[in-house]
């Protein structure tokens, strides 16, 4: 009896018919300045106070053991950046207000550097500042310990990513 009452109630909410097709969220006009979210406004303001402050950098390091195909890894990074506009976004001022600019997709530089002091190299890369106006706001660096041991370090400014996203 309860099951039947629930079914009738739910059917009434739907008007007794099949659910309407879902409408997607319309894409923002890329020919106009894109507003910042509240969190982005805060980070943009903090960057104006202390340009390049590395406290707002996020990083993740991934170790690869075995032969590494640099071209395939570089292509995979480019595909991720092409898919996620935030990773191609820079920030400018338009009429005195901050605005986002989404840059076109393209290759992601993936320099390779030999390392003998991994911790020092990771700290140095993490501390490198970002320029929110110039970008890119995601950097990739491949540290080579040997022919079969590499560490991929991805560093991004927190204005375009967060800790959860970096784990993805």
Query: So what's the pLDDT on residue 49?
Result: 95
| DSSP structural state of residue 114 | E
Q: pLDDT digits over 100-148, tens only?
A: 999 999 999 999 999 999 999 999 999 999 999 999 999 999 999 999 9
Per-residue pLDDT tens over the stretch 34-77: 999 999 999 999 999 999 999 999 999 999 999 999 999 999 99
Q: What is the pLDDT of residue 15?
A: 55
18 part of a folded domain = no
Number of domain units in the chain: 1
CA dist 163 and 50 (Å) reads 21
Q: Global pTM?
A: 0.80
pLDDT at residue 167, rounded to an integer: 60
Q: What is the CATH number of the domain that holds 113?
A: 3.30.559.10
Q: Is residue 160 part of a domain?
A: yes
Encode 14-49: b = buried (16+ Cβ within 10 Å), e = exposed: eeeeeeeeeeeeeeeeeeebbebeeebeebbeebee
Burial of 137 from C-beta contacts in 10 A (0-12 / 13-18 / 19+): buried
Mean pLDDT of 149-168: 85
Which range among 5-9, 45-49, 56-60, 79-83 shows the weakest confidence by mean pLDDT?
A: 5-9
Residue 20 reports pLDDT greater than 70: no
Query: Contact 66/150 with Cβ under 8 angstroms?
Result: no
β-pairing, 57-65 with 149-157? antiparallel
Q: Supply the pLDDT for residue 107.
A: 94
Confidence band of 27 (pLDDT split at 50, 70, 90): confident
Residue 8 counted as domain residue: no
Q: Please give the residue range of the domain that contains residue 82.
A: 33-167
Specify the pLDDT at position 138. 97
Q: How far apart are the C-alpha atoms of 26 and 37, rounded to whole Å?
A: 17
């Amino acid at each position: 009896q309860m099951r039947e009452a629930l079914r009738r109630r739910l059917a009434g909410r739907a008007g007794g018919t099949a659910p309407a097709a879902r409408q997607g969220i319309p894409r923002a006009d890329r020919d106009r300045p894109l507003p910042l979210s509240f969190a982005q406004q805060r980070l943009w303001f903090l960057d104006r106070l202390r340009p390049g402050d590395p406290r707002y950098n996020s990083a993740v390091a991934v170790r690869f053991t075995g032969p590494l195909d640099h071209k395939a890894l570089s292509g995979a990074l480019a595909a991720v950046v092409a898919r996620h506009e935030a990773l191609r976004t820079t920030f400018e001022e338009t009429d005195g207000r901050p605005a986002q600019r989404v840059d076109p997709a393209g290759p992601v530089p993936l320099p390779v550097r030999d390392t003998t002091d991994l911790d020092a190299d990771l700290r140095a890369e993490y501390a490198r500042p970002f320029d929110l106006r110039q970008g890119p706001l995601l950097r990739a660096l491949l540290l080579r310990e040997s022919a079969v041991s590499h560490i991929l370090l991805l560093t991004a400014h927190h204005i375009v990513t967060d800790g959860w996203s970096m784990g993805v």
